[in-house]
């Protein structure tokens, strides 16, 4: 068979020399989303893409010290939740009505009964015992003061810890189907929980649809997690599942979803899955032990747990076109 000669370029199309080709590549580099990261790095906010069973949407995430953030208000969201514990109205001495959970009311009543018994017992003590009590109280006060200082130090440390915040409003995660709709919302001045950031106004003035280009590590496919887990141990995708755990923890914290936080907390079965996955991707003995641990984790239990998590997150999403 005769060897075919290479196809010659069309006579009407000019050939690109090395210099021209290099210039074209440089121009293409400029057009890539990575070149626009300066805006996000400067304002310390990131575009995020999240895929859920209902669709894929864009939102924003930022990390700030806890003391600088006001958590999203979930009161309106909780009123629409039929699965919350029954609530009870209690009248205070000031004729104000306070709504508290039944469990809290029972605990509060028990504490009040204990206080009444303690006061009655003290009235039976003699003066000598009262003096002894006073000395003990002084020691307790000193101990309490020391404990208060320790608690204050712990509170300061907790306040300095960086926590996630998303583009949320009244306990709902705002997800936008297109970059254009997300940018339109940012520029609109509509209320949201990220508007408390000191860099929000500048973002609303500078952001363009082309800037909404999440990095690979800021793209999450929660819609694939359950199906992947159902495929069995050999089919599990460590990167997919580890990243799902990261975004689920962030969303659960920012959206105030304690049930999800509990399911992913240290010592839980899903946390064990996460640790085993992280160990399995490492080489050496650690990777070997991680793979052995994975084989002991039930695929059905893991998939059911993650189906619950994805369902709870999906339930608090406010989709925007």
Task: List the beta strands (DSSP E) in the chain.
Answer: 46-52, 55-65, 87-91, 97-101, 162-166, 168-169, 172-176, 219-221, 317-320
DSSP per-residue codes, 37-102? HHHHHHHT-EEEEEEETTEEEEEEEEEEEGGG-PPP--HHHHHT-TTSPPEEEEE-TTS-EEEEEH
pLDDT score at 87: 41
pLDDT, tens digit (0-9, with 9 covering 90-100), for 22-33: 555 454 444 444
pLDDT (tens place) for every residue of the chain, 321 residues total: 443 444 444 444 444 454 444 555 454 444 444 446 999 999 999 999 999 999 999 999 999 999 999 999 999 898 876 555 444 444 444 444 444 444 443 444 455 445 545 555 555 555 455 555 566 556 666 666 666 656 565 555 556 899 999 999 999 999 999 999 999 999 999 999 999 999 999 999 999 999 999 999 999 999 999 999 999 999 999 999 999 999 999 999 999 999 999 999 999 999 999 999 999 988 788 888 888 899 999 999 999 999 999 999 999 999 998
Strand duo 55-65 + 46-52: pairing: antiparallel
How is the chain split into domains, by residue range?
40-74+166-320, 87-162
pLDDT score at 286: 85
User: 95-109: b or e for each residue (b if 16 or more CB lie within 10 Å)?
Assistant: eeeeeeeeeeeeeee
CA count, 13 A, side-chain hemisphere, 252 = 20
Q: What are phi and psi of 177, to 5 degrees?
A: -75, -20
For residues 259 and 313, what is the distance between their CA atoms, to the nearest angstrom? 11
**Tokens representing residue 110 in the block:** 């028990």
pLDDT score at 95: 47
For residues 176 and 207, what is the distance between their CA atoms, to the nearest angstrom? 15
pLDDT score at 288: 83
Closest by alpha carbon to 177, among 47, 56, 60, 61? 56
Helices 269-280 and 299-314, axial angle in degrees (round to 10): 110
3-state secondary structure of 273: helix
pLDDT score at 10: 46
pLDDT, tens digit (0-9, with 9 covering 90-100), for 80-115: 765 554 444 444 444 444 444 444 434 444 554 455
CA count, 13 A, side-chain hemisphere, 162 = 5
- Planar angle of CA 54, 57, 62, nearest 5 degrees: 130
For residues 108 and 94, what is the distance between their CA atoms, to the nearest angstrom? 17
User: 120-149: b or e for each residue (b if 16 or more CB lie within 10 Å)?
Assistant: eeeeeeeeeeeeeeeeeeeeeeeeeeeeee
The pTM for the full model equals: 0.69
pLDDT score at 169: 97
For residues 309 and 272, what is the distance between their CA atoms, to the nearest angstrom? 16
pLDDT score at 282: 84
């Amino acid at each position: 068979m005769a060897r075919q000669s290479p196809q010659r370029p069309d006579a009407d199309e000019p050939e690109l020399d090395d210099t021209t080709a290099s210039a074209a590549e440089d121009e293409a580099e400029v057009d890539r989303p990575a070149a626009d990261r300066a805006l996000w790095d400067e304002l310390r906010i990131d575009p995020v893409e999240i895929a859920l069973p209902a669709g894929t949407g864009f939102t924003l995430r930022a990390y700030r010290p806890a003391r600088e953030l006001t958590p999203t208000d979930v009161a309106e969201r909780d009123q629409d939740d039929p699965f919350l514990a029954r609530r009870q109205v209690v009248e205070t001495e000031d004729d104000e009505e306070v709504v508290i959970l039944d469990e809290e009311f029972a605990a509060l009543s028990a504490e009040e009964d204990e206080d009444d018994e303690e006061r009655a017992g003290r009235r039976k003590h003699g003066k000598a015992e009262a003096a002894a009590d006073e000395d003990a109280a002084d020691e307790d006060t000193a101990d309490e003061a020391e404990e208060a200082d320790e608690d204050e130090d712990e509170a300061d440390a907790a306040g300095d810890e960086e926590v996630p915040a998303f583009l949320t409003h009244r306990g709902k995660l705002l997800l936008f189907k297109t970059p254009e709709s997300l940018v339109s919302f940012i520029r609109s001045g509509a209320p949201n929980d990220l508007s408390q950031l000191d860099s929000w106004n500048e973002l609303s003035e500078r952001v363009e649809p082309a800037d909404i280009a999440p990095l690979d590590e800021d793209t999450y496919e929660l819609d694939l997690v359950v199906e992947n887990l159902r495929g069995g141990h050999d089919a599990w995708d460590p990167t997919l599942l580890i990243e799902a755990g990261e975004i689920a923890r962030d969303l659960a914290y920012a959206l105030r979803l304690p049930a999800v936080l509990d399911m992913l907390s240290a010592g839980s079965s899903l946390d064990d899955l996460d640790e085993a996955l992280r160990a399995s991707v490492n080489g050496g003995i650690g990777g070997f032990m991680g793979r052995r641990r994975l084989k002991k984790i039930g695929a059905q239990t893991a998939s059911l747990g993650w189906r619950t998590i994805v369902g709870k997150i999906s339930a608090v999403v406010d989709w925007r076109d």
